[in-house]
Structure 1
């Protein structure tokens, strides 16, 4: 008597990760170390279904007067995603505005989100005066936490990679989804954080890196621009002369060495700086060489993609189509929970 075949065990269901980067211009290295490098890591772990977006509606809250720039910035961002390691076969790469279900879900959630919840958002309160000054004190910017919630929920995202300083941002999304579940007796997932270590990178002038300050370093600049950027970096202000010993811990250049240089190079920089054995020019030259070496391959890959618009378009189209199918599935679930059909 033959034995009954043993049923194969089903692989465990993979949790879903959702995140994106706001489209405000070309990516800089802060975007890479703060988000993109972690996207690649999560994708390559093979334990998550990953959805990563170029969030152009979020970018429009401040770029509504320069809309002609948003589309090329968006294409550039997707090219950067791929050049730095995101694989369209492993992750779903999409453009936010190409999946209109984001906005439909935003409207649903906007109607059940109390105004007081948005008024207490610290990033809104902190930036309100600046927003008034540059004419970006608008409803889109005020309601960004609701759209952020829709971005996550439309893919039924369960995990969101964030730094610990962004916990409050995710908590309001959890509260909005919790309120939806309570009102409509639904069981939509409340996203939980995947905490990541985000290095604090100063801008070229030593202040916080920000496009508004004009002190960012692009992620894949040409060699000439990269060298110019590195040479602009602020060093230890106490080291006035070449023979003065310095303190690498207060030097912006050393902070970048920690990310781009080997342990051997770090030791060379630290010892040489503290003993005045090397000058700031020597330190910057080493940093330029190390960044350039790590940037060369992604720079060429991005260039190839941008020079082959049909290929890039096909990748974007396929990613948006895949994302939209999942988004439509979610809206079907949401409308069913609401007992709302048209």
Structure 2
């Protein structure tokens, strides 16, 4: 398993607190632990918004500004834009040649999104094929880990199946076994013996631990090339050379950021607080939030569990404040406006410094262009290497 992670966002509008708590805070941790690739998925914006007049140029730039203001560091992460790495599209096309249509039709989000977005014409190949474009996004960087929520695990499973099928069809070198045996000979007697025993154990009994140990053994090898290592990884599993490694899901901590109405915060529900909302806008939005309908008068007791504001307290308030809210609401000791104030203050405190950084980055558009250009060029170097291997495996290097 390699150390690289890949994640992206579609630039279809302003980022909100749901993006920050659900995605960006996780990225902030990952960028210090792993080789992190974060991209603006501008082509993916067309899968559901192809007929909308989105100002993509502005959206892309503003999204990168928000990432930087949230703390994503271009010196430790690779920040890039999908369309600036056209190899994504080439790999998507080539993978489509071997991917069964039924695999795409069974992706859970295919029917779910059609149901949720009934007002849009989603009977397009782009919408049907967007999970495969996601697979190309991941596989072209040979990302070992992809941070996702539970609702996206099916997409990673599809990616694994796509990679496995591609490796099976195109990883069959004519002299594969001879090359694999020659590579084992380069490992040294002790390691070669261990490798053979682990391979035998996995192939004869399906011992998953033996597979993991064989993979770890190969990762430590200094005497073999990257090509030989991938060849031997495939040899353990009984397939050909692994051209496109299968990624793993990195499940992110369930972070269902509540919206202003108690549902999950989402642009489609119109219940968001944007990272760029002013202090006045934040105050107005929170103070207009619905509360427990049982509390008609100040003297009516309420139940915090029935109030959307309580969901925000669970995100922003410490135990002492939460206890104060439960007591004040359940025993009618406070009004709803008083209860909302700590949430207002906490959101302002969180977004204030971020908005100062947003203003600073907005004042230097050339810096943003430079960060996007340099990150996209770095990403493209990796993407080109993968495409060279893919073309060679498919016999289109003429």
Answer yes or no: same fold by TM over 0.5. yes
Match of 1:292 in 2: 348
Q: Report the alpha carbon displacement of residue 66 of structure 1 after superposing the two structures with TM.
A: 3.1
User: Which residue pairs with 1:138 in the alignment?
Assistant: 124
Q: Does 1:19 align with 2:75?
A: no
**Residue 239 of structure 1 corresponds to which residue in structure 2?**
295
Cα distance between partner residues in 1 of 2:132 and 2:37: 18
**Distance (Å, rounded) in 2 between the aligned partners of 1:253 and 1:266:** 11
Q: Measure, in 1, the Cα distance between the counterparts of 2:268 and 2:81.
A: 24
Cα deviation, 1:158-204, whole Å, max 9, x if unaligned, reads: 10111223221211111111111111114121110111212223332
Runs of 4+ in 1 over 4 A off after TM superposition: 129-132
Cα offset for 1:207? 3.4
Normalising by structure 1, what TM-score? Answer: 0.91
**Pairing 1:56–2:112 present:** no
Alignment match, 1:31: 19
Does residue 220 (structure 1) correspond to residue 259 (structure 2)? The answer is: no
**Correspondence for 1:311 among 367, 381, 385:** 367
1:133 is paired with a residue whose SS is coil
Q: Specify the SS of the correspondent of 2:320.
A: helix
- In 1, Cα distance between the equivalents of 2:78 and 2:136? 17
> Once the 2 structures are TM-superposed, how far is the Cα of residue 34 of structure 1 from its aligned partner?
1.7
Please list, as runs of the form range in 1=range in 2, the aligned pairs for 1:243-262 lying within 5 A after superposition: 243-262=299-318
2:137 equivalent to 1:151 = yes
Residues 88, 315 of structure 1: 8 Å contact kept: yes
Q: Give yes or no for contact 1:206–1:233 (8 Å, CA) kept in 2.
A: no
Whole-angstrom CA distance in 2 between matches of 1:24 and 1:198 = 23
For the aligned residues, what is the CA RMSD? 1.8
2:80 matches 1:94? yes
Find the structure with the greater CA-based Rg. Answer: 2
Q: Which moved more, 1:272-281 or 1:81-90?
A: 272-281
Q: Which residues of structure 2 form unaligned runs of 5+? A: 172-240
Q: 2:159 aligns with which of 169, 173, 177?
A: 173
Tell me which of 144, 150, 172 is aligned to 1:164: 150
How far 1:117 moved relative to its partner?
A: 0.6
60-69 vs 247-256, greater mean Cα deviation: 60-69
| C-alpha spacing 1:61/1:112, structure 2 compared with 1 (3 Å) | same
C-alpha separation in 2, matches of 1:260 and 1:161:
24
Unaligned runs of 5+ in 1: 1-12
TM-score by length of 2: 0.78
How far 1:132 moved relative to its partner? 5.4
